[in-house]
Structure formats: structure tokens, C-alpha cells
Chains A and B, each alone.
Chain A
Amino acid sequence: MSGYLNSPDGDWFNNRLKGTMFFIIIAFFVILVRLFYLQMIHGETYRELSTNNRIRLQHLPPSRGLIYDSQGDLLVDNRPAFDLLVVPRDAKPLDETLARLSSLTGIPVAEMRGRVVKKGGENSSRSVVLKRDIGRDLLAPVEVHRFDLPGVIVKVRPKRYYLNPGMAAHLLGYLGEINTREIASGEHPEASVGDFIGKFGLEKVMEPLLRGAQGGRQVEVDVRGRVIRELKRVEADPGKNIYLTVNTALQKRAEALLKGDVGSVVALDPQSGAVLAMASSPTFDQNDFVSGLSYAKWNSLKNNPGRPMENKATQAMYPPASIYKIVSSIAALEEKVVDRRTHFFCSGQHAYGDRIYRCWKRVGHGTTDMVKAISQSCDVYFYEVGERLGVDRLAFYARSCGLGSPTGVELAGEASGLIPTAEWKRRKLGRNWLSGETLSLAIGQSYNLVTPIQMAMLIASVANGGTIYQPYILGKVEAAGGAVVTTTHPVVKGHLPASKKNLALVQKGLWGTVNSRKGTGKIASIQGVTVAGKSGTAQVVSKGWGRSKKRSIRKFRDHAWFVAYAPVEHPTIAVAVIVEHGEGGSTKAAPIARKVIETYLGKEVRDD
């Protein structure tokens, strides 16, 4: 203790307390002065502002970014739409105003009253939407009689407009009115009831880019709710414009080719992964969603067996069928269970255990090596390969080729597909893997499932010599003024697990598919361009069914696959096509692939 004498006593504290009290009194004096200033000196002004006039906050919505294709052509635009609103408090007498409005527009008074009552009552100072998107025929009389309609407001609102209705609908997506759950989620901090947000496709995924930032203004309004003057203003920050990698001509062509069928076409630039076209059939008109879908329309979309709301390119999973032989070939060559000289004899069937596994070609392919097996899609050759590889080695190669997980393209809800392993089957089905199943697996006909975009990515990687590029749709982002904000650079996801030499062998097989005498994809050949590809026919029900019976019922017909790339020397396009229940990959899917390539490369279009 530095001294008992120094310890504080009552008198000492008393002095310190005086200081504290002085400080407090000064502080409250300042408060009183401020109050005097606000209430006594400027009281009149503030009273005026609070009674006769009102200062209100109005939001200035940003204009949503536009969407262009790779050529700079506009795909998605904003067009003005006119909403009819009323501020009940300013519309006194309300009934008279509504009656007058009803006689001008034909909207029943009861309907408008109902909306006012539901949204806060007759004294609410918040505007209530009476009718959305009134046409110009209703707009004109309302504008003319503006001064007889106190509190009635016509609000111009940009409305999303899709220039090519139905085109690339799954890719572009659509806007819809925000719902309470989305407001509560906190993902749209600036949005309020009545705002439109991206609900599907790129409109949803790119929402943060397209949306922009809200502005606003403080305005003084008179008793009738009309703006007298603007006090402060913060401009809205318009959304960014985005340019897609999609080629509109190609997209339109792909969709036309799929018309009437259920299926998908994905075209990639094999040198970058850029999506050139992504079609999913059947499609829908996005403008219907923006205007508010009728119940009947929604029901017809929902009940359509072709599932129009599903983006088949990324969300639908199919057995890969013979396309999978590309993966099996790579695995077999890399694991050295076969080499380029290895050949098996195909008699049209292969006995394994107590079962007979058939080749699609009943009479057999005879002596078959790797290149021939790919070109003619010999099942027996790949039964032998599957038997030697085993399920887990095959699964490893499939995964390394980018299968079994989403490709990472900028669309929400992408499916993973499925690459079965022995462990997977034990866990999921509670049974052991049967070695016979590996045989089916090697020809893509077991539990394995893939999406069209995965197949496109696979064939693009084979085409470019083994680099797996992540598919992407967003080419570049521009600010509203035209300055480029970002340009997408291709992302290398990985490399095919194949040596140059082995991949060349597979490529030779794919070349043979289209260009050899007995190739299964000859129909895809184009005059003047060398195309390589692979066909596939995915069984929907097991082979036990009679062929005639399967044909007669559409939903039991096989799915038709075709993947291709061209020109072989320096590929600029890779395509994957699937037609659900299209039966033969060679007959139904290959012509579509060919025409897509022809369109892209600007070749004469053959009609057949």
C-alpha cells in the first residue's frame, strides 16, 4: 500500500462527483438546445413537412442486364409493361375513384376493392397493384383522365422479354415474382413483394450479375400522392449484360431437329469447353412465366410425359450404352489387358458363367481387334474386356474421364450420373457385385447413368487429344456502358487417363465408326469433312422382350445415342445427341449429330 493517507475519503470523492455532475449537465444542455432548435426554431417547417406534404422514399429499380448470344445478337430484352396502382390514402373518396376507374378500364370495382382491402385497407399509404401489365388500350384512357383519378398511379416497369420464345428456354430460364420464402431466405436483400427474380436457368444462376443494385429517391408528395419535388436521388446501378457462348443459329437448328421427339443435343467447342448449343426437347415459352402462368398452362406442362420443365442436357440421366465403350477402351489399353493387336473372335455371343451374353449383331463380327470393335460396336470384344478389368478398375477410369459427378457448367441442379462399384452395390442394394454384371457394364448397359452434357464433355476431350475442359456458357460479362467486366477463360478439369498412343487408337476406332465400310455411324459422314463418332442404343427393358413387342410400344423402345466430333484433323465442334425411345443410335441420333455439325461448319445441308 502506497500509504493509507492516500486512500480516498468522502470529501475527495465529493470533488470528483462535482466534475461528473458538471459533465452530465452540459451534455443535457446540448440536448435541450438541439430540441429547441428543431422544435421551436424550425418547428414550423417540420410541421409543414409532416402534415401538408410528405417525404416518401421511392425505390428506383435497376434495369436488369440483357443476354446476348456469342455473335452479339440479343436473346433476352426488357420491354415496358404498365401496372395500374392506387394509393388508398390519397384516393379519397376511394369508392368514387374506383368506380370511375372501373368505367374507364372495365375492371370490376369489387375486384379492385378486394385488392385494396387485402393489402392494408382504405387508409394505407402504400400503393396497391390493381392490375398488372395493362395493355396500351387501357393505358390511354387512364392517362387522359389522370386528374379525375386521385391516388391512381400508372407504373412503368420493365418486363422481361424473350426474343425467341421457347428457344434455349432451359438454358436461359425465366423470371417470376418473388415468393415469401425467397424473401425470407435473405438471398435477395433488396427485393420486396412484387419484384421479379430469376427462377430457373441462367436467369436464376446469374441473378447477382443481372440484377444490379437498387437506387432510390426521397420525394415530397402532395395530399394526392403526386410528386411535388425530388429531394435526394441515388441512381440505380444497372445489371450487367452477359454474352453467352451459345450460337443461336446452331441452337435453333438443334431444336428444330429434336422437334417432336424427347431428347437433347449438346454441342461443345472441344478446344475450350464452351457450350455452342444446348437443346432440350420438348421446350416451353418463357414469356408465359413472366406474364404469370395460367393454371391450365402449368398443368399441361406438368403433366406432359416429355417433362418439358427438365433440362435434359444436364438433369436427365440415361444408360450410356455403347458410348461407354470409349471409357472401356481407354481402361483396357491403359491397364494393358489388351493392346492394339489383341483380337477376340465374335460369334455373336459370349458364354460367361451359366449365362450367354449376346452381341447386338446376331451373326457375329468374326475376328475383332480394338479399332474394329469400336467402329462396329462389337459387344463380345468388350465383354472380354470387362471380364479382364473388373468393376472397380472400370469405375476408376470412368471417374477419371469426368463421369459420375456434375461437369460444373453454370446451371443449377445438374445431375451427377452414376458410376457403380462393388462397394456401391453392397451399400445401396445390399448385395454383392456379380462378375457377370461387369460384362454388361463394359458395354454401358448396367447400373451406370450419364447426362448428355457428360457425354459431350467426354467426346470433346477425346477430340482435343485428352484435355477435359469444364463446359461453360457464360462467355463474357459487360457493364451497362459496354466495358468488359470479365471474360471467361477455359477451365481444365483434368486429363483423360490415356496415353497419346492409346488415345490415338480410340480416335481411330471413332473415325472408323463413321468412315469404315461397316461402321455403325456411317450415316453421320459429311462430304468434305472428316467426322468421327460413336453410336449407342440404350436398352429401356431387358433383351428378353421380343423385338416386335418392344417396337410396338413407344415407351419401351430403346434410347438412341450419338456422339461425334469434326473435323478430325482439328476438331472445332463436339456433339452429343440423345433421342429418348428413338431406337437406333445409328438411325435416329446420328443424322441429328451430322446436321448439327453441318450447320456449324457451314456445309451444304443434305436432306434425307
Chain B
Amino acid sequence: MIDRRVVEHFDWGLLLITLILSGLGLVALYSAVYAGNDPSLRPLFAKQLVWLGSGMGVMVATFCIDPKEFERWTPGIYAGCMLLLVAVLLVGRVVGGSRRWLAVGSLTLQPSELAKIGVILMLARYYARNATTRGLGFRELLTPAGIVLLPFMLVYLQPDLGTGLLIVMIAGIMTLFVKIERRTLTLLVCAGLGCSVAAWIFFLKAYQKQRVLTFLNPDRDPLGNGYHIIQSKIAIGSGMLTGKGFLKGTQNTLSFLPERHTDFILSVLAEEWGFLGMVFLVLMYCTLFIWSLNIAHKSKNTFGTITAVGVTAMLFWEAFINMGMVMGLMPVVGVPLPLVSYGGSSVVKSLMAIGLLMGVSMRRFKK
């Protein structure tokens, strides 16, 4: 079913970048779970290896499938993701006040992660059929709005506003990519601003407002998020040029960093590997995104192009928001660093996304 030409065009470069980023993640995770005083975190390293292994499996399975097949299955995949989101609201496990996880046996799955892929595919399918060089008009945007709003609402109800907004932002890049009529765009920007003001007044819960306000002025919450950001900044800053060295981070070992194996993993890396390590990490991400946009460029099929852009948008936003958050440039929202942070759903989803890119890349010569 995979012909030889496809195999010959396997994208080794993309695989290498993926392995490097995952490797950096493992280095940081090892430090985060072994250098501290908390033995309960230790099993997470082995768990992450298992997750990476299964993620690689998913990646292989994904790139074996022709994107054209994916295009055909897209409505089913999308519907499946939405059903999972509904299931999470009904029978999900509550952790820290929100219902985000589905327990399947001993595994926990975060369907909102998969929903991002579902939305990307669904939008790509729609835009591949409807995009014109003239740009999308208001009417043509109604369907995509529906495609995005449904999962947004379901995720918002969990409640997980951060992931919900992320879905909207991914869709935003994809939509801007396929172009919107100038008149419509102006209208949308104005409406968006209006909606934000209305959302602030009517929809945001107190703790969500608190997060935004804390971000704007960390002094508001010096005991909560403000404290986390300050500790994270100390960790990053204290790395200086070359870092303190592997397993030598002090902020990390003192358990000052919250969520240091998931959302704040970057602080661990920055403390131990310094500015040089960070430059390397940032360059890796940049390479990954330029590589994937190049895949989009080379694809001969519009669905493939737009999917590749969507996947890039997803990985980009996650990386950018996570980095901004731990450096005190953005509010503290629970977004993991793709391929690097600990977390089963996030790893599997990211590798599935890479698999999609590889699938598009391998078939770039096929008509």
C-alpha cells in the first residue's frame, strides 16, 4: 500500500529534529524528577519513555496513511473528537477543579489535545474546497466558525479556557493563511475586540480574570501565580550564559518550581543549560517550523498544504505561549511545551502531528 517512491522520500530531517526535541525533553525531565527531594515524581521518567514509544507508533501509523485518505475520514475523526469532549464532560475525572481527563483503564487521556488535530483536519478539508485567491467572505466563514466554536464551547465548559483559546488561535492562523477579504477582516477584528470586552464582563470566571490581571501586574497575587512566575524567572535567569550544569539546578531541586516536569520544564532546562542551551532549543523549534512550512509549500495537494500549516500553527502557538508564560511574558495558562513537557496526551498528539507532516512530505511527488 505504500509504494517504493514514497518510502524513498521519507523525511529524515524532520525525524531528526523531532528526536532532538524529544531528547531535550527527556534530559530536562530526568533533572526535574531525579534532582528534587520528591521521590513520588521518579516513576514519571519511565512513564514518559513509554509515552514517547507509543507516540512514535502513532506517528508511524499516521504517516503511512495517505493524506487523501485522511481527507476522506476527516468528518469521522472530527465527530469522534467531539464525542470524546462530550464524554469528558459527562464521565471525566476532576483534577484541580476542572474535568479534563478521561480514564481508560490505568491511562488518562486528555481529549482536548486530540480535538486540536480534529479541528485542524476539518478546517483544512473545508478550506481546501472553498479557498480562493480573492479571500474568504463573511458567509464562507460561517462554517469554519461553527467547526471551531463547538469544540471551544465544550472545552470551555470543562473549564479549560486556555486550551479553548488555543484552538481558536490555531484556527486563526489557518484562516489568515487562506486569506480573508479585507472588508470582512476589518469587521472581524472590530467584532473580536467587542467580544473580548463582553467576555471580560460577562463570561470570564473570577479565577480567570485573576490570571489575566496577575499577568498584567504580578504584584496582585504574590502568593500564587506571581510567586510561580518569580521563581521561574529566577530559575531561568540564574542559568546565565552556560547554565549550572546537568542536575545542578538549585531552583529545581528545592521544589520552588511548580509543575516543573510539565508546564515549567523550560525553567529547568534554562537553569541547567543557560542561554546557550536556550538558543539551541529555540533554533530547533524555528527549524522545525520552517521545515514544516516548507513541507506545506512543496505539497502538491491543497489539503496537505493547509493541514501542514495548521499543524505548524498548533506546535508554534504551544511553544510560544509556554515559553512566554515561564518567562513572565504571558499569563499562566496550562499549555505544555510540545515534545518536551511531560504528559501522555500532549506527547502523543505532538507526534501524531509530526506524523501528519511526514505523510504530506513523503507524498510531495505524487500527483
Contacts and interface: CB of A to CB of B under 8 A. Distances in A.
A40 interface: yes
Contacts of A24: 286, 289-290, 293, 312, 316
Interface in B129-172: 131-134
Contacts of A352: none
Given A2-B132, A21-B293, A42 B286 contact: no
Given A12-B133, A21-B293, A27-B320, A35 B234 contact: no
A125 B254 contact: yes
Interface in A7-51: 7-8, 10, 12-14, 16-17, 19-21, 24-25, 27-28, 30-32, 34-36, 38-40, 42-47, 49-51
B282 A46 contact: no
Which of A39, A40, A50, A216 has the most C-beta atoms of chain B within 10 angstroms of its own C-beta?
Answer: A39
B44 interface: no
Contact of A6 (B132, B236, B305, B324): B132
A232 B37 contact: no
Contact of A232 (B134, B219, B279, B300): B219
B223 A28 contact: no
B324 to A, nearest CB: 7
B234 A49 contact: yes
Given A17-B293, A57-B227, A39 B134 contact: no
Nearest to A23: B173
Contacts of B65: none
A258 B271 CA distance: 69
B316 A27 contact: yes
B177 interface: yes
Interface in A144-192: none
Contacts of B33: none
Contacts of B233: 38, 46
Contacts, number: 145
Interface string A56-70: 010000000000000
B80 interface: no
B285 A35 contact: no
A234 B238 CA distance: 27
B274 A39 contact: yes
A232 B241 contact: no
Contacts of B237: 38-39, 42-43, 45-47
Tier of interface size on chain B: 35 or more
Nearest to B174: A20
Interface string B232-252: 011111111100000000110
Interface string A531-545: 000000000000000
B254 A20 contact: no
Given A46-B237, A51-B238, A124 B173 contact: no
Contacts of A27: 316, 320
A8 B131 contact: yes
B222 A218 contact: yes
B173 A35 contact: no
Given A27-B316, A43-B241, A120-B37, A232 B222 contact: yes
Contact of A46 (B133, B238, B289): B238
A358 interface: no
A35 B296 contact: no
A214 B231 CA distance: 21
Contacts of B134: 2, 6
B179 interface: yes
A452 to B, nearest CB: 41
Interface in B259-282: 270-271, 274-275, 278-279, 282
Contacts of B270: 35, 39
Contacts of B290: 21, 24
Contact of B227 (A12, A34, A218): A218
Contacts of A121: 37
A388 interface: no
A372 to B, nearest CB: 65
Given A39-B237, A39-B274, A54-B254, 16 more contacts: A3-B132, A6-B134, A16-B179, A17-B177, A20-B293, A20-B309, A24-B289, A28-B282, A31-B320, A34-B327, A35-B278, A40-B241, A43-B239, A43-B275, A47-B238, A55-B234
Those 4 A-B pairs whose CB atoms lie nearest each other, nearest first: A46-B237, A232-B222, A43-B240, A50-B238
Interface of B: 37, 131-134, 173, 177-179, 219, 222-223, 226-227, 230-231, 233-241, 250-251, 254-256, 270-271, 274-275, 278-279, 282, 285-286, 289-290, 293, 296-297, 300, 302, 305, 309, 312, 316, 320, 323-324, 327, 329
27 contacts: A2-B134, A10-B300, A16-B179, A20-B293, A21-B293, A24-B286, A24-B316, A27-B320, A30-B329, A31-B329, A35-B270, A35-B278, A35-B279, A38-B237, A39-B237, A40-B241, A44-B240, A45-B237, A46-B233, A50-B238, A54-B256, A55-B231, A125-B254, A216-B223, A218-B230, A231-B222, A232-B219
